[in-house]
Structure 1
Amino acid sequence: MNSKDLYLRLLRYVRPYRRMFALSILGTTAAAATEPLIPALIQPLLDGSFVAKDPHSIRLMPLLMVAVFIVRGITSFIGTLAMSWIAHQVVTDLRDALFARLLSLPTRYFDDHSAGSLLSRLTYDVSQVMTATTQALVALVKDGLSVIGLLGWMLYLNWKLSLLVLLITPGITIIMRLVSHRLRRLSRELQELMGGLTHVIDEVLQGHKVIKIFGGQDYERQRFHRVNNRVRQFNLKLAAASEASGPLVQLLAIIALGAVIYFASLQSAADQITVGGFVSLFGAMAMLLTPIKRLTKVNEQLQRGLAAAETIFALLDEPPEPDRGIRAIGRARGEVRFHAVSHRYRDDGGEVLHQLELDVRPGETIALVGPSGGGKTTLMSLLPRFYEPESGDILLDGVPIRELRLAELRANIAYVSQDIVLFNDTVAANIAYGAGFQVGEDDILKAAESAHAMEFIRELPQGLHTLIGENGARLSGGQRQRLAIARALLKNAPILILDEATSALDTQSERKVQQALDALRQGRTAFIIAHRLSTIESADRIVVLDCGHIVESGTHDELLACGGLYASLYQIQTHS
């Protein structure tokens, strides 16, 4: 997308605030209109007051000068403030749109992009866009109109001398074009580096315990310094590219100014120009330098903003999670069938699942076991459509899940993963998350009791209303896991996916939670992924996966009697 299309798309976000935008443009235009008035008043001030000694000019000209500066100050304040208001609104809208897009993106997108780079887009990149929609736009309108107005006055005074100024326009255009390309490229690379910097910070914040226990402080400090130093280098390159254009443009302007002064002196000697006209022309040319300088500086802001807009719109243009289903199912009975399901995560990668067949009756508890990398978690990720299978069908109550709306499908599934995710909110809010917050405190209490979580919740300073910190940092691993189980209990879905749901519990807590899970499984279809085989002995059926294939299936006793892979795994665990 070229610069024009990018900026026009960016301005679409200004459209809802067009009245404020019109006020800003009106104020900025009025402020810009006062620029040529200043040299225009100089001519009658000098010729009338000092040369002709006209008493009317002596009284009037100072008052007009004061009036011009008052109008200039008021209109400039209104225009700049209104544009700043619009810019903050646009940034808010862009952040809202980016956040909404992130919520709708498929799981695969998050597999391919680091959290740091995505955070950088919502923070650093959006702030760069703000400069393009405020300072850059105000400078383009105000300084652009000032340059046009001053040139117009100069042409009116003496068109022959003014043409000398216009001769430098091609040189300025070439300089600006060359600098723009370099600034855009450097800005893109700087944005990538800022994403890398945020990624390093995010990893350190998430893994601070691992860093401390393994003594990785020096390594992380060096890693951060390398990225941080690269950011410094690119900021310096940006500054050099931006600053280089200013002196070059000003040099051309000074050359033109020198030529004007020389030829104006010749005209003055021949009485072809008055003193007031000469000073007015010279003043207009001198005043041209300031807006021209600002226009060269605004190029950096503009190119940074456009480079940021590229990455922002690239994210906004990412296709959302496919949801082509049109069928509703209500509350499912819980019959699940995997028919010839194959899956791979990358086109050039090996198959994680291969032509897998599995029929599950409503209310049946299926335990999925096997060596790591066998496909257990992948299989369960396909059921709620976190990923789409490469081939085959998954059916819920006889209906292919790809024909169901995602909201309908996922409303029938409760999920507890081994990687517990809690929010920096109260205990009650984290549990109520399972029912979309549409529950009362009594329901929350019941779910917490069933998950044996009230034992520690009662001891918290504010009970259910205690803030638990980022990802439950103020709780133990077992406490966090019980809150996640309470959240799943409250959802009361007909299908349960439990991925190592009791892995972080001590023996006593595990026994209590296991009892709650046994009660919860009654009348529901449950899938239990477990490495601790002692926790799934009571499952209706145990399915053993290895290298993407189902190699064994049966009850605990049946599989032990077969003496296959399950029996080997069980023997290893019980004798270790």
Structure 2
Amino acid sequence: MISKLRFLLKYAHQYRWWYTGGILFMALTIGVSVTIPEYIQKSIDLIGQGREGNENAFYNYVLMILVLALVLILVRTMSRILFFIPGRLIEKQLKGEMFRKLTSFGKEYFDKNSSGSIISRINNDINGVRMITGFGLMQIGNVIFSLSVTPYKMWNMSPVLTLYCVLPLIVVFVIVRVGMAVMVKNTRRRMDSLQNLSGKTVSFLSGNGVIKSYNIHKWAEEKVDEENVSLFDFTMNIARVRSFVLPLLANLEQILKIVVLFAGGMFVINGTFTIGQLAEFIAYAALLSHPIMGLGWVLTVFQQGFVGITSLQTIMDKKGVDDDKPALEPSKVNTLFKQGVSVRNLSYRYHNGDEEVLKNISFDIKPGQVVGITGKLGCGKTTLVNCLNGYLKPEKNSVFFNGHDAALLRGQDIRKVVKTVSQEVFLFSDTIENNITFGSGDLPDNEKVDKVIYKSALADEIERFPGQERTMVGEKGIMLSGGQKQRISLARALYTKSDLLILDDVFSAVDTDTERFLIKHIFENRTNETILVVSNRISVLEKADFIIVLEDGEMVAKGTHKELMKKSSYYRETSELQDNKE
């Protein structure tokens, strides 16, 4: 509980002056609210005395009620604005911090948490914090002021009648409190179920093509239906409690009015109360019912919000892979690739693996070189690449950039000098132009965009698109072919200059003519100082200064194209096989 309150205080403290203003207007709201019944009492008693000589006083009382009502509208609106805006600002801040925190995590975290559950946390759990810091804090102020001023006014009028009002309030509050506890329990389960449903939905939508290919629609529907029914059950449990609790809260004011009308009516008959005083007391009873209703909602909001905070803290309190590493000075970052990359006895095991996928690999990449990597499927090519570009963290004293140990460098510092075009191409649901310029940090340079589009062998195809560079590519580039997506991803890497460009199997989805065009403009007309290309196409690898052959995570051969044709059976057989196909 203490950690959750500290979490809230950390964000709420930034807007303390907003809340201070909200509290002042809240106090004015309660002050005006309890003043109006006094003028109602005077007006009604004045009516009972007859018209003669009382007209002016009556008009003044009604005018005062009207003015106070207008003031009440103003101060109540201001109090809500001053409480609700910080809640929205905190929601905005939290979503930004959550995104930054999530981007700092490594592969291990995303292996254990699905995208759907993460999205659900960002949307639902942060909404709980917004409700606490907005509506919740406002209702706390409302309850405190109302339950201190209104009962005082009522007690001064009649202690006995006040006690008559308190008894049903206590009974209703206990019932509501029990109902709220059941609601919170089911809300927690509903949130877990919603995260599971979101995860499955995102997963199945992303793999829709696979589901169609294997004709397993029924299986997918049943899996989604299981989570959907679970979510429905918990939602219905909440709805059942609400259907009992909410009417009870909504009619609390009417219950109090009946109690006051019956007991207070006897006071009027006995001459203890006037009709005006009875009307005043009824007005106070109505004012008293609202904070009790608010108190029930406050408890619910805080309990639901605390469930969300617990979920958020599991993310916010988790350290990112680079949180403990200091940032390099800009001057050092600019010279990070001055001497190239040195790999010394690199071995790597995944967090959930039992065996090493890379074993004792050593080589150097000097500035200006073109280096190739090849090998059978699953031999560790992509793992090796990801150890060089900072996506995976190698052991200490394994990878060095200009004398700096990569294990001690932040991934974002490494990626300022290393750009990667991966085999898992990702495009945003945006225009081709924005996908190409993504990450550059500058406004699009049309001339530069046209140049990288040409070098990526996309110019002719883009000319045929309806909006050309401004054509929307759809979710994950669904409107484009695999080869087009790969070349747009390549254009993105070429648009922003880097010291080392890594091409991880980017030629797999292009035809031979396109491959030759790309080789000419990327390798021969050098756009990047150093290139590391991962491929099994010999026509690509023969342009490299040296080639590394991997097998079962080990470097079994290294040399130029001519040298490997002599000493590597795998390389030679691959070359002969591709020559025969041509």
TM range (shorter): 0.7 to 0.9
Q: What is the SS of the residue equivalent to 1:117?
A: helix
Contact 2:84 2:134 in 1 (8 A): yes
Q: What is the SS of the residue equivalent to 1:411?
A: coil
| 1:530 positional shift | 2.0
Contact 1:165 1:253 in 2 (8 A): no
1:67-119 per-residue CA deviation (whole Å, 9 max, x = no partner) reads 44333233223323443333333322322332333344434433332222222
Other-structure match for 2:76: 76
| 1:503 positional shift | 1.0
Unaligned segments of structure 1, at least 5 residues: none
Separation of aligned partners in 2, 1:293 and 1:492: 62
1:484-563 to 2 correspondences below 5 Å: 484-519=489-524, 524-562=529-567
1:361-372 to 2 correspondences below 5 Å: 361-372=366-377
2:476 to 471, 477, 484: 471
Q: What is the SS of the residue equivalent to 1:134?
A: helix
Other-structure match for 1:153: 153
RMSD: 3.8
Separation of aligned partners in 2, 1:115 and 1:196: 10
Contact 1:106 1:321 in 2 (8 A): yes
* Partner amino acid, structure 2, of 1:324: P
Separation of aligned partners in 1, 2:10 and 2:401: 43
Other-structure match for 1:297: 297
Identical counterparts, % of pairs: 25
Contact 1:116 1:197 in 2 (8 A): yes
Other-structure match for 1:109: 109
Q: What is the SS of the residue equivalent to 2:400?
A: strand
1:336 to 333, 341, 357: 341
| 1:338 positional shift | 1.6
| 1:187 positional shift | 3.0
Separation of aligned partners in 1, 2:333 and 2:251: 74
Contact 2:501 2:528 in 1 (8 A): no
Contact 1:341 1:391 in 2 (8 A): no
1:338-353 to 2 correspondences below 5 Å: 338-346=343-351, 349-353=354-358
Contact 1:132 1:304 in 2 (8 A): no
Q: 1:438 and 1:72, CA in 2 relative to 1: closer, same or farther beyond 3 A?
A: closer
| 1:321 positional shift | 3.8
1:135-146 to 2 correspondences below 5 Å: 135-146=135-146
* Partner amino acid, structure 1, of 2:495: L
Contact 2:36 2:68 in 1 (8 A): yes
* Partner amino acid, structure 1, of 2:26: T
Separation of aligned partners in 2, 1:115 and 1:27: 43
Q: 1:523 and 1:445, CA in 2 relative to 1: closer, same or farther beyond 3 A?
A: closer
1:28 to 19, 26, 29: 26
Other-structure match for 1:236: 236
| 1:339 positional shift | 1.7
Separation of aligned partners in 1, 2:130 and 2:327: 38
Contact 1:108 1:387 in 2 (8 A): no
Separation of aligned partners in 2, 1:492 and 1:68: 67
1:37 to 35, 38, 42: 35
* Partner amino acid, structure 1, of 2:418: I
* Partner amino acid, structure 1, of 2:31: A
1:380 to 366, 379, 385: 385
Contact 2:394 2:407 in 1 (8 A): no
| 1:166 positional shift | 5.1
* Partner amino acid, structure 2, of 1:464: E
Contact 1:196 1:227 in 2 (8 A): yes
Separation of aligned partners in 2, 1:468 and 1:422: 8
Matched residue pairs, number?
574
- More displaced, 12-21 or 264-273? 264-273
Q: 1:132 and 1:54, CA in 2 relative to 1: closer, same or farther beyond 3 A?
A: farther
* Partner amino acid, structure 2, of 1:238: I
Unaligned segments of structure 2, at least 5 residues: none
Q: What is the SS of the residue equivalent to 1:418?
A: coil
Q: What is the SS of the residue equivalent to 2:415?
A: helix
| 1:502 positional shift | 0.7
| 1:134 positional shift | 3.4
| 1:416 positional shift | 0.9
Other-structure match for 2:362: 357
Separation of aligned partners in 1, 2:290 and 2:439: 60
Q: 1:414 and 1:334, CA in 2 relative to 1: closer, same or farther beyond 3 A?
A: farther
Other-structure match for 2:415: 410
Separation of aligned partners in 1, 2:297 and 2:50: 42
Other-structure match for 1:429: 434
Separation of aligned partners in 2, 1:243 and 1:230: 20
Other-structure match for 1:207: 207
| 1:163 positional shift | 4.5
| 1:385 positional shift | 1.4
| 1:415 positional shift | 1.0
Contact 1:340 1:391 in 2 (8 A): no
Contact 1:188 1:307 in 2 (8 A): yes
Contact 2:253 2:286 in 1 (8 A): no
Contact 1:374 1:547 in 2 (8 A): yes
Separation of aligned partners in 1, 2:410 and 2:542: 35
| 1:152 positional shift | 1.4
Other-structure match for 2:447: 442
1:421-473 per-residue CA deviation (whole Å, 9 max, x = no partner) reads 22334333333336443773333333222222222233333433444333333
Contact 1:168 1:253 in 2 (8 A): no
Contact 2:358 2:554 in 1 (8 A): yes
| 1:165 positional shift | 5.1
| 1:492 positional shift | 3.4
Separation of aligned partners in 2, 1:76 and 1:131: 18
Separation of aligned partners in 2, 1:12 and 1:523: 46
2:401 to 396, 401, 419: 396
| 1:507 positional shift | 1.9
Separation of aligned partners in 1, 2:219 and 2:352: 35
1:315-339 per-residue CA deviation (whole Å, 9 max, x = no partner) reads 3333234133546142424532222
* Partner amino acid, structure 1, of 2:480: L
| 1:498 positional shift | 1.2
1:539-572 per-residue CA deviation (whole Å, 9 max, x = no partner) reads 3333222332223333444444346454566667
Separation of aligned partners in 1, 2:379 and 2:284: 78
- More displaced, 55-64 or 69-78? 55-64
Contact 2:108 2:351 in 1 (8 A): no
Q: 1:458 and 1:269, CA in 2 relative to 1: closer, same or farther beyond 3 A?
A: closer
1:324-375 per-residue CA deviation (whole Å, 9 max, x = no partner) reads 3546142424532222222222166332223333333443333222233322
* Partner amino acid, structure 2, of 1:505: V
Q: What is the SS of the residue equivalent to 1:373?
A: coil
Contact 2:396 2:405 in 1 (8 A): no
Q: 1:318 and 1:241, CA in 2 relative to 1: closer, same or farther beyond 3 A?
A: farther
Other-structure match for 1:324: 326
* Partner amino acid, structure 2, of 1:27: F
Separation of aligned partners in 2, 1:174 and 1:30: 30
TM-score (norm 2): 0.84
